[in-house]
Amino acid sequence: MLLVWLVVLVPAVVRPAEHPLSADDVTLLLIGGASADRLLTLIDQRGVDFQLTPELEKKFRDQGATDSVIEALKNAGEKLASPGEPKPGERAATLEEKINAAIPSPSPSNDDPVAPTFSLQDLAGKPLNLADYKGKVVLLNFWASWCGPCRSEIPKLVELERTYGRQGFQVIGVAVDDSARSVKKFYEDYMMNYPVAMCDSRVRSLYGGLQGIPTTLLIGRDGRIHSRIGGAPRNFNWFDQSVQRLLSLPAGEGKTAVAESGAAHTAVPGSVTTAPAARTNASGAPTQPGTGTAAMPDLPDPSPDRVQQIIRAFAAKEALFKQARDNYTFHQSNKVEELDPDGNTVGMYQQDWDILYDDKGQRIEHVTYAPTDTLKGVFITQDDLETFRSIQPFVLTNEELPQYEVKYMGHAKVDEITAYVFSVRPRELKKGRLYFQGVVWVDDQDLQIVKSEGKIVPEGAHAKHGQESLFPRFTTYREQIDGKFWFPTFTMADDTLYFATGGVHLKEIIRYSEYKQLSPRCASCPLRR
């Protein structure tokens, strides 16, 4: 659930060049209803990581980009070009071609060092042996819970594990904290979905002394270290590309998967030793994970009539889901962190509650944890709490469907399922109401929303006394809980909100857990078994 951010008049310092806008960012801002002035400000403050092609220009104009926005995107993209100019009549290289030209050949080499094995205990006390992952692509991440760059990259590693975990890929975390207690809390708060162990002096020595953190190693199926990255990369697409390429390579005959000892490369903070990487898709459309040496076949697009049938069908399913969810109790944890330019937490809001029913069948919220709110650059209002309950997760029922404009965007793969992708935006913004604008992924078999990404509009709806109301971009994931419906289980947002007084970097994590269907003896239950 998404909250309304109201900034107090306390300037915050933010690095202006942090997180350049990607083509996907621009798409979501446009379909999210961002004004031309807001877009121009973001482009000026953050820059872009792509060059504007005719295809992208047409796409952005179709999504509502003005001439001034297009011009600003062109100018920002041209700053990425290399100083050399093409010869007369020679086609200028695209940004994608320049990036790929700078990446070494993606063939494994016997010169790559073999990853030394180790044996530790994970946070649950179970053995964690690197040798057990023989034949897999392993991302080995040395990190600490107090490290700002580590905190910023771990949600990306969680997403990598979620995307490629069933394709022979494994993330392993090794924490260098002094205390396991802080690591366990971090592990739970960030819903880390891969094994984590505490580092010891032997492992530290085996991997070159760890001159900086985070330090990340990409280990191929052949057991060799193909890349060693010191610091958090600015462009996390590099991880995706490298993992996909390594997954496509065989383990190799006659090579040892892992060795008992050996030295790794010395890490240089902020550097990237490049590994095999796949070519990027600069179209701005949803990308599909790699599935090996052969590319995933194009998924068929439904006919226009079928698209309308799908929209009506998933809206009807959403109505059934909404009714079913009202028949469940669950636990919800809401956490908001305010971060400084180095990624350190400077303020936090947290509230946990159980969603229950009283003896009369009335839905109630029982607060189980509510420490002191220490946020500095923003504060939470009662309206914010209401948006936690009613706006997020986004449920688009057939009753609400007439209020939204839903457009088909494509047929894509999400983790291990395939889904139809739709952009969603309100037809009309009514006073006093908040709406969702963004993208939803609808499972093409169950016809239910399995993922949503976007933000709440309109911004500024609750502005008072010169205060601004801005919303972070968020992503919500659903999982199939009862074999029939897809329930929200995790929402995250990591965004810098640019107020008139400066930027405020916020990280939000919402967890939904312990779903339990009400007993059939409950007279208020709408669904009985």
β-pair type (417-426, 435-443) = antiparallel
On the question of pLDDT at 479 being above 50, the answer is: yes
Q: Which residues contact 129 (CB under 8 A, 6 or more apart)?
A: 117, 118, 119
Q: pTM, whole model, 2 decimals?
A: 0.50
Radius of gyration of the chain (CA): 24
**Per-residue pLDDT averaged across 425-439, rounded?**
87
- Do 321 and 224 share a structural domain? no
- Do 317 and 230 share a structural domain? no
CA distance 146 to 214: 11
φ, ψ of residue 199 to 5 degrees: the values are -75, 150
452 to 9, 97, 139, 424, 516: CA distances (angstroms)? 32, 31, 27, 10, 23
Domain containing residue 206: CATH number: 3.40.30.10
Q: Which of 247, 276, 293 is the last residue of a domain?
A: 247
371 falls within a domain: yes
Is the separation of the CB atoms in 474 and 454 below 8 Å? yes
Question: How much of the chain exceeds pLDDT 90, in percent?
Answer: 14
| pLDDT of 359 | 66
On the question of pLDDT at 275 being above 70, the answer is: no
490 falls within a domain: yes
Give the pLDDT confidence of 295-330 residue by residue, as tens digits: 334 678 899 999 999 999 999 999 998 888 888 888
502 falls within a domain: yes
- Do 373 and 471 share a structural domain? yes
192 falls within a domain: yes
- Do 413 and 486 share a structural domain? yes
Find the domain containing 168 and state its range: 107-247
Choose between 129 and 383: higher pLDDT.
129
CA distance 223 to 133: 9
On the question of pLDDT at 139 being above 90, the answer is: yes
- Do 315 and 225 share a structural domain? no
- Do 308 and 403 share a structural domain? yes
Structure tokens at 40: 């121009």
505 falls within a domain: yes
- Do 317 and 238 share a structural domain? no
121 falls within a domain: yes
- Do 308 and 233 share a structural domain? no
CA nearest 246: which of 271, 288, 217, 212?
217
- Do 196 and 335 share a structural domain? no
Local confidence band at 51 (pLDDT 50, 70, 90 cut-offs) = confident
Choose between 24 and 191: higher pLDDT.
191
CA distance 234 to 46: 13
523 falls within a domain: no
- Do 217 and 327 share a structural domain? no
- Do 488 and 420 share a structural domain? yes
Alpha helices in 248-398 (DSSP H): 304-325, 382-390
Q: Which of 201, 222, 247 is the last residue of a domain?
A: 247
Chain mean position to CA 171: 16
| pLDDT of 117 | 86
318 falls within a domain: yes
- Do 326 and 222 share a structural domain? no
Give the pLDDT confidence of 442-468 residue by residue, as tens digits: 999 989 999 998 888 887 644 444 567
Q: What is the mean pLDDT of the chain?
A: 74
Domain count along the chain: 2
CA distance 444 to 64: 28
Choose between 272 and 180: higher pLDDT.
180
